[in-house]
Structure formats: structure tokens, C-alpha cells
Structure 1
Amino acid sequence: MNETPKVAVVTGATQGLGLALVEGLAQRLSPADTVYLTGRDAGRVQEAVEAAPAGGAQIRGEVFDVADPDAAGRFAGLLRERHGGVDIVFGNAVMRVGPDDDPRDVIEPYTQVNNFGTTRLLRAFAPLVRDGGSLIVVASSLGTLNQLAPVLHRRFDGLTTLEEVDEQVAAWRDAVADGSARAGAWPGFVNIPSKIGQVAAVRALAAQRRADDLARGILVAAVCPGMINTPTSALWWDVSEAATPAQAAVPLLDLALEPVKPEQYGELVRHGQVVPWSPRYHQS
């Protein structure tokens, strides 16, 4: 009996790491498989698809704006009709901030993409992942409680639903917007609470699905690709010796395509190793 063709989805895929993930998946999968290269701008999506190397799986472009509250549900429904399910999902869509951006001015669109976009993706696509598949959110090693003042740990620790995560992210967003976060213990760099919210979302979903997913060989995880040499990262750090997007994509692709390791399920993974969630973390 012929194997069902695989279907992969990468969000935020018109450049950088997302594009490298699409190209890496296409190279590793077969010509019968499909990799969806998605982004919010139709022109950039089409340009990226046309420039992609030939060979391997079919690369198919699709407009998908994760900031649109209804887009994830629509796209998931479309893929269910076309393919019946999906095998690999990389949530990589991100709105970046620069050193000169005022967090109060950007926090609304920032959280709509990075945080609420993540929880919408998880809600919509988790039911579609087939046996042996993976649902991975690209986050950061900044996304751990170790990066947050202890008084704030309770905001994100032990959350068990995506709705609870959304509530905490919304409370933080509102505090940034009205300026009260500056007077509290919140870090000034909005990337830290945002990444923590992403990892908390993965952990909340995983808490609900762990037993069934592991029985079916499904991985739900967050992943840290490490420092990447991109123009945006260069605004903040010296990335001259950092990995290229193609290099950074390799361990992420390995994670998605190799058999699931139970100790990685629901965790933040960097180069195959679990990054501790909190100071008291002990891997079971």
C-alpha cells in the first residue's frame, strides 16, 4: 500500500529561517509531498516560491496572516479538505522590534502576531496533525522563567489551557500599552515576556495532549534556533559569526523529522537538548 503523501506548513516563510525551513523540508521530503510556504504578503509569497530550488517536495505558496483572528481556522480547514491532515507544522511567523521602537506603540500588533498568532495556530492545527507528525513553535532561549523576575513566574507557570495563556499575555500587553509595566518588574525588552508566552502556550497544549500524542508518535514542542545572522538580529547583537538561516534550520528539521523523544515533548528544545523551563525544573 502506498504511503500517504506528507504535508508540511511553515508560517513566516518568505525569508530567513522560515524560508530555510521550507527549502530544507522540500529537500528532505519526496516529490509526492507538499510543503506550504506561507506569509501575509501575496507578492512576497509568490516570489519566494518562484526562487526556491527545484527538486524534492512540491513547494506551494499560500497567503496566511497569523494576526488575522480567523486565518488559522480557514487555512486549517482548507488543508483538511485538500489533504485530510498535516504532518509537520512550524510556527515561525514573527513581528520583530528594533532598538528605536517604543514598546507602547508596537505592543498590540506585536502580540497579535507573536503570541495570539501562536495560540491560534496551535488551536487550529493540533487536531490536524497525523500520527508521527510534529507541531513546533519557533521560540527562543529567552522564553524561560529564568529570564523573568521571580515575582512574575506565577503569571505563566502551571497554565493548562491556551485561554489562560492568552489572558496572561493580554494583561502584560495592556500593562506595556498603558506604561504601567515600566513601573513593575516586567523586563523592558518585550521579546522576553513574548517568548515566555509562546513556550507557555506549547506547555499548556502539551499538558492536555501528552499521553495521546506520545502513543501516536506526535511531537509538540517549542524550539530555539540560536543566534542567526540576519539583518534584524544585527540591529541588536553582533551576529557576524552566527549561523546562517540554512545552518540554523538543520537541528529544527532533525527535530521535526526524527522519531519523537518523550523527554522533548512539550518542552523548549535547543540543538536537541531540553532548555529548563524554570529554576526548579527537573526532567521526568
Structure 2
Amino acid sequence: MTNRPRIALVTGATQGLGLALVEGLASRLSPADTVYLTGRDAGRVARAVAGLPATSAQVRGELLDVADPDAATRLARLVEERHGGVDIVFGNAVMRIGPDDDPRALMDAYTQVNNFGTTRLMRAFTPLLRDGGRFLVVASSLGTLSHLAPVLHDRFDGLSSLDEVDKQVAAWRDAVLDGSAAASAWPGFINIPSKIAQVAAVRALASQRRDDDLRRGILLAAVCPGMINTPTSALWWDVSTAASPAEAAVPLLDLALDPVDPGHYGQLVRFGRALPWKP
């Protein structure tokens, strides 16, 4: 990172972990820096910005619905026009699903946000990363092949482009929608393939960018914040002893602001350690 003003952007930032990441970045960065708080609802974005405590860096709200095929490109163009590039991006937008939800009813919208939204963000903003930049996709420890039946590993292993990842996500989505996934080895908990696909997207893009990014001090990685005490998580698990969003944000902020560990590049990182992709 240089002494120029730094530009950071967080998606899915109107509540929970995303809001904590914005507050943490704005507290750690300088008054010359800008943090973009983004979300899909203009009213919620405005309220989130207004509700933040006094911070060092400027926080700027912007509308970004990652399910809109063109939204990330539009915002990237705006950020480039204003600042010439970006230094830190957290891809945190997520559509949540509860135990009582029917995956088939939500599948299209779910993948549009969690998966295609992630790859759209990557296509739009990684070309804008300046030297020393960070692009971090918030995923989960579920995003490794150890959580997928071995017969399905080749769907996501060794992919070399975001287009290939999108193709596999679309095939999985369609199998859920037509009911064939239920009769095969796909897990019923759709969060598992979704998180694996997010990590696969990071790995695929990293395979293309690795040498140049490491030369320029750029980190591209997926991150696992661990269990977080949120109302959605509480629908699935006992989160009474889990970290608050602010606590969970700390190791992610460290990864975004500390010197790059080359061993983290293209990996899924949890609490400062790269998790194995394969069992």
C-alpha cells in the first residue's frame, strides 16, 4: 500500500458482518480514505451510513444489487472515474436461507446473489485493484471439497476461469430446480455447493493472476469469518457463544490491512490460516 488515499468497498454492508467491516475499515483507515458501504436498498444504505459512529475515514453509501447483471460494472466505472482504482474490496453480499425454506423456490435468486453476484463483482473490480490491493470474498469453512461427495469434486476442482465456475453453478442450480439433485450426490444444504463455488471462483481467477498479483503485492483470497451470532445463524445452530459481527470482522480486517502472506493467495483463509482445498 502507498501513501495515496485508499479506497475500500464492502458489499452486503447494511447489517451484520458487512456493516462491521465498513466500521472497522473506516476506523483503521485515515481521514483521506474512503469506504463505500453498499447494499441493494437505498433506504437501508442511507440508514446504515447515518447510524455509524464517528470514524476516521469517510464512509460513502452507494446502491449495489449484485443480482443485477450490470450493477457491479456500473459501480466499478463510477469508482474508477472518481478515484482511478480501488484498494480493498470485500465481497460479502449474501442471500440467506432458513431451515424451513424450500431450496427449489429460492434457488435462482440465491445463486444470482451468492454465486453469480460474486463472479460479477470479481470481473468488475479486480481489474481496478491498485498495487498492494486486496480482494476478499467472504465464504465459509464449508467451501472446501471435503464437504462434497468425491464423485462431484471434478465439478469445481481445477477450473481455470470464472466462466467455467459460472457454468458449473448453473448446472447445479438447474439440477436443484428440476429435482435431479435430490436423487444424486448433491447435498441438500445448498449453502455447501454455493460456498465451494465461491472458493472455486477465487482459485480460478487466482490461477490467471497469481504471478502479476504477487509481484504487485495484491492479495486475492476467500475468507471464513467463523460462526457469527446473528439471527439467521441462530435458525440453524446454537450461536449463543459465537462471535459478534464486530469480533468476527477483526481477522478479516487484519487480512485486508496487514502485509500479504503469499501462502494466503488464492486460498480460503480462516483466522489467519489457509484451509486445505482437498480432503
TM range (shorter): over 0.9
2:158 corresponds to which residue?
A: 158
What are structure 2's unaligned runs of at least 5 residues? none
Offset at residue 57 of structure 1 (A): 0.3
Give the Cα–Cα distance (whole angstroms) in 2 for the partners of residues 13 and 3 of structure 1: 26
Contact 2:91/2:118, CA 8 A, preserved across alignment:
yes
The code of the aligned residue for 1:182 comes to: A
Q: How do 1:100-249 and structure 2 match up within 5 A?
A: 100-249=100-249
Whether 1:38 and 2:13 are equivalent positions in the alignment is: no
Q: How do 1:267-282 and structure 2 match up within 5 A?
A: 267-279=267-279
The code of the aligned residue for 1:85 comes to: G
Contact 2:229/2:239, CA 8 A, preserved across alignment:
yes
Counterpart secondary structure, 1:98: coil
Give the Cα–Cα distance (whole angstroms) in 2 for the partners of residues 183 and 206 of structure 1: 34
Offset at residue 103 of structure 1 (A): 0.6
The code of the aligned residue for 1:277 comes to: W
Deviations 1:134-175 (A, max 9, x none): 000000000000000000000000000000000000000000
Deviations 1:45-67 (A, max 9, x none): 00000010112100000000000
Give the Cα–Cα distance (whole angstroms) in 2 for the partners of residues 31 and 116 of structure 1: 34
Deviations 1:245-264 (A, max 9, x none): 00000000000111111100
1:81 corresponds to which residue?
A: 81
The code of the aligned residue for 2:56 comes to: G
Counterpart secondary structure, 1:30: coil
Give the Cα–Cα distance (whole angstroms) in 2 for the partners of residues 174 and 159 of structure 1: 19
The code of the aligned residue for 1:113 comes to: V
Deviations 1:75-105 (A, max 9, x none): 0000000000000000000000000111100
Structure 1 stretches of 4+ moved >3 Å: none
Counterpart secondary structure, 1:8: strand
Counterpart secondary structure, 1:235: helix
1:282 corresponds to which residue?
A: none
The code of the aligned residue for 1:67 comes to: A
Deviations 1:20-63 (A, max 9, x none): 00000000000110000000000000000001011210000000
2:21 corresponds to which residue?
A: 21
Offset at residue 3 of structure 1 (A): 2.7
Offset at residue 214 of structure 1 (A): 0.3
1:65 corresponds to which residue?
A: 65
Contact 2:23/2:55, CA 8 A, preserved across alignment:
no
Counterpart secondary structure, 2:133: strand
The code of the aligned residue for 1:134 comes to: R
Offset at residue 4 of structure 1 (A): 1.5
Counterpart secondary structure, 2:236: coil
The code of the aligned residue for 1:18 comes to: G
% identity of equivalent residues: 77
Give the Cα–Cα distance (whole angstroms) in 2 for the partners of residues 137 and 190 of structure 1: 18
Alignment RMSD:
0.7
The code of the aligned residue for 2:264 comes to: Q
Give the Cα–Cα distance (whole angstroms) in 1 for the partners of residues 145 and 75 of structure 2: 33
Give the Cα–Cα distance (whole angstroms) in 2 for the partners of residues 117 and 36 of structure 1: 17
What are structure 1's unaligned runs of at least 5 residues? 280-284
Counterpart secondary structure, 1:154: helix
Give the Cα–Cα distance (whole angstroms) in 2 for the partners of residues 3 and 78 of structure 1: 22
Give the Cα–Cα distance (whole angstroms) in 2 for the partners of residues 97 and 226 of structure 1: 18
The code of the aligned residue for 2:163 comes to: E
Offset at residue 112 of structure 1 (A): 0.1
Counterpart secondary structure, 1:186: coil
Give the Cα–Cα distance (whole angstroms) in 2 for the partners of residues 259 and 207 of structure 1: 21
Counterpart secondary structure, 1:142: coil
